[in-house]
């Protein structure tokens, strides 16, 4: 089970990845969109990986 803070961060992560994929004007993979969002949010590689893994577990 994830904490409320983690759930909020995960929702924000998913939302931003979806927006980047939709608005990019080119076809991006999930990983490409995640890397763009990682830079936008100022996340370390470890933090981005943690969010990505939580996202996969929640699907």
What are the φ and ψ backbone dihedral angles of 30, each rounded to 5 degrees? Answer: -60, -45
What is the pLDDT at residue 59? 72
Tell me the average pLDDT across 11-16.
95
Domain that holds residue 35: 4-58
In the chain, how many domains are there?
A: 1
pLDDT at 58 over 90: no
- The band of 14, judged by pLDDT with boundaries at 50, 70 and 90, is very high
pTM of the model: 0.83
The pLDDT tens digits of the residues spanning 24-55 come to 999 999 999 999 999 999 999 999 999 999 98
What is the pLDDT at residue 1? 77
């Amino acid at each position: 089970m994830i904490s409320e803070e983690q759930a909020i961060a995960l929702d924000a992560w998913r939302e931003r990845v979806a927006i980047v994929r939709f608005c990019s004007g080119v076809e991006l993979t999930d990983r490409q969109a995640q890397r763009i969002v990682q830079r936008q949010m100022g996340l370390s590689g470890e933090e981005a990986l943690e969010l990505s893994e939580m996202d996969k577990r929640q699907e």
